[in-house]
């Protein structure tokens, strides 16, 4: 805790003389000289990452990637990335070519797991029905053993279905990247799953690394979710984002970081600190920070200035829920990027 406080107070002294000025966004950045921006993004620095769920490029300014801050490094698209409109292609080309921003696609394995669980429940009902139906045709009642066998038969069909579905994902995702000129994949898994599903996830890690191996110098692979999954698999990913730990204490972020340091092949620069601004809890200070003076710094500023004890250099910061920040000209995201670069 002492190390966290010292780092934060040092940051406070820097922030006190730093004014955050609003930046006017231009939907046609080709009119600006963005050479310095592209050079900045190719130099070593703390990355800024966000997710975007509004991408349509349909005339409403909050649906364009191009209205996001120029200095944002990575955008993870949560939807609308498989079949692009001409306007989306133009928007994508602008942020990639003019601004040097990386644009990734999200594969939400939580949704796959939810569907898998629902199918298992339905298979159980179907198995019970089939056992009772077969027994009734003989004028009998189904025994527990017959019901168990019938349920297993139906659920085995579900297991085979999801084994094939998950195995097919790497090639499917790689095709989307190639077709639309996108820069990588972020795998989201926040649930711990059952034994079968965890096994398929580990196989997915291996397969996706194999599929992308020829383009790994240009394609990014990010893990986001329950960090326990990446034990023995840190080498597969460029960046790791824990999204399941508590956001009330800054120490929780540090604890996740040190848990990762015990994992094979982990590099501190893989670690991306995470904060959601989907609700208003980010506006209040972390509960475990102490000072002789009242601390009023909101969480996004404190997290941006945070470094783990031992002066490890981390990878950067990721913010979720920035869509609601659009009316503020993405002011929270802009400020976070400026603060993280104070380090």
Note the pLDDT tens digit of each residue in 45-60.
Answer: 999 999 999 999 999 9
Q: Whose structure tokens read 């893990």?
A: 223
pLDDT tens for 179-235 read 999 999 999 999 988 999 999 999 999 999 999 887 777 899 999 999 999 999 999
Would you give the distance in Å from CA 3 to the centre of its chain? Answer: 27
Mean pLDDT within 31-54: 92
Return the pLDDT at 315.
97
Q: How confident is the model at residue 290 (pLDDT cuts 50, 70, 90)?
A: confident
Are residues 222 and 239 in contact, defined by beta-carbon separation less than 8 angstroms? yes
Which pLDDT score, from 0 to 100, does residue 11 have? 41
Query: Residue 13: its pLDDT value, please?
Result: 34
Could you read off the pLDDT of 145-190 as tens digits, one per residue?
999 999 999 999 999 999 999 999 999 999 999 999 999 999 999 9
89-93, 246-250, 278-282 — most confident range: 89-93
Could you tell me what percent of the chain has a pLDDT over 90? 84
CA distances in angstroms from 11 to 4, 158, 285, listed in the order given? 11, 53, 14
Query: How far separated are the first and last CA of the chain, in Å rounded?
Result: 19
Tell me which residue of 123, 105, 225 sits closest to 172, measured CA to CA: 105
Tens digit of each residue's pLDDT (9 = 90 or more) over 60-83: 999 999 999 999 999 999 999 999
């Amino acid at each position: 805790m002492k190390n966290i406080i010292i780092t934060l107070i040092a940051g406070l002294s820097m922030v006190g003389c730093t004014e955050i000025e609003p930046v006017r966004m231009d939907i046609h950045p080709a009119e600006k000289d963005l050479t310095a921006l592209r050079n900045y993004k190719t130099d070593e620095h703390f990355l800024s990452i966000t997710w975007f769920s509004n991408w349509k490029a349909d005339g409403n300014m909050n649906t364009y990637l191009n209205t996001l801050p120029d200095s944002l490094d990575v955008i993870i698209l949560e939807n609308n990335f498989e079949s692009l409109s001409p306007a989306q292609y133009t928007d994508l080309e602008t942020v990639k070519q003019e601004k040097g921003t990386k644009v990734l696609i999200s594969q939400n394995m939580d949704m796959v797991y939810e569907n898998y669980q629902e199918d298992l429940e339905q298979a159980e009902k179907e198995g019970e029905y089939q056992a009772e139906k077969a027994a009734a045709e003989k004028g009998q009642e189904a025994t527990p053993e017959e019901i168990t066998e019938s349920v297993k038969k139906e659920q085995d069909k579900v297991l085979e279905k999801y084994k094939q579905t998950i195995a097919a994902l790497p090639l499917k995702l790689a095709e989307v990247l190639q077709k639309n000129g996108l820069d990588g994949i972020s795998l989201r898994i926040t649930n711990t799953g059952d034994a079968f599903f965890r096994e398929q996830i580990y196989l997915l890690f291996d397969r996706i690394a194999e599929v992308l191996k020829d383009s790994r110098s240009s394609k990014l692979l990010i893990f986001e979710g329950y960090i326990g999954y990446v034990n023995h698999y840190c080498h597969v990913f460029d960046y790791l984002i824990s999204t399941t730990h508590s956001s009330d204490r800054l120490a929780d972020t540090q604890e996740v970081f040190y848990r990762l340091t015990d994992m094979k092949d982990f590099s501190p620069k893989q670690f991306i600190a995470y904060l959601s601004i989907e609700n208003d809890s980010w506006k209040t200070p972390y509960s475990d920070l102490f000072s002789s003076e009242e601390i009023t710094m909101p969480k996004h500023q404190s997290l941006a200035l945070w470094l783990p004890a031992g002066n490890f250099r981390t990878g950067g910061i990721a913010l979720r829920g920035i869509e609601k920040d659009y009316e503020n000209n993405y002011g929270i995201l802009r400020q976070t990027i400026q603060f993280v670069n104070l380090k």
